[in-house]
Amino acid sequence: MDFSQSTNIDVTESDFSVAEEYQALVEENPKDGAVVFFVGLVRDMNQGHCIQGLHLEHYPAMTKKALLSIVERARQRWSLGRVRLVHRVGSLKVNDQIVFLGISSPHREASFEAAQFIMDYLKTEAPFWKKETTSDGERWVEANEKDSVARKRWSET
Amino acid sequence: MTKVLFFASLREQAQCDSLEVCLDHNITVAELKRKLIEKNDCLKRALNGNVLTAVDQEMVNDSFCIANGSEVAFFPPVTGG
């Protein structure tokens, strides 16, 4: 099997190790000269509320399919090597890791742009929903207008 | 039978996570929503706002035609990442 253009997607309740994910991107990968990665974390303040923790719900039958489709669209636009995407679900605390996206490519421009593209689409198309526990009780996080705007810059229909 | 699923705030408003409907002919997403809204006030509350729809796990718009036996999911705008 050729691992030079592998896509690895994981939706899990478990935490991930950035070091291990990075290792999986670079190990025996002489073709790619660039790795870009992004880690999303739980912030302590959101939309004016003080956050104690959150619960991430998803649509199990659709989640991986949606993420794979986003990565495939990125692969059509840029020449990418390996793509690794981990998204956590379940209960998380402030400062916990939520999402890891790592991309390798021959040159850095492709990884940088594809990382933005994949995160912009993940934020607007992947079926995840956050419910925050705040000092005032529980609330569903509202979708951000800025995420839809960010996605539109890639001008896909 | 067509399975209808609700997620996140819509599931809470609908007060159910899934239900089954029998479609005697193919109908659009908009028509299915109207049909469900007429059933009860909980579904009305759930489906009247900003709702996204997936049919067989693919995002679709209101004019998409649903075949009987599909899995239809209604949910609010997503907030992952």
Residue pLDDT, tens place only, B11-53: 999 999 999 999 888 899 999 999 999 999 999 999 999 999 9
pTM assigned to the model: 0.94
CB contacts < 8 A (A, B): 73
Q: Does B17 touch chain A (CB under 8 A)?
A: no
At residue A2, the pLDDT reads 58
DSSP string, A55-109: EEEE-HHHHHHHHHHHHHHHHHHS----EEEEEE-EEEETT-EEEEEEEEESSHH
Closest CA to B47 of B58, B39, B59: B39
**How many Å apart are CA A102 and CA A114, to the nearest integer?**
10
Three-state DSSP class for B52?
Answer: strand
pLDDT, averaged per 10 consecutive residues of chain A (157 residues), comes to 82 98 97 97 90 96 98 98 98 98 98 98 97 94 91 81
Distance, in angstroms, between A82 CA and closest chain B CA? 20
At residue A157, the pLDDT reads 52
Instruction: Dump strand ranges (E) for chain B.
Output: 2-6, 18-21, 27-28, 52-55, 58-60, 65-66, 71-75
Is the predicted pLDDT of residue B59 greater than 60, yes or no? yes
DSSP bridge pairs for B66: B27
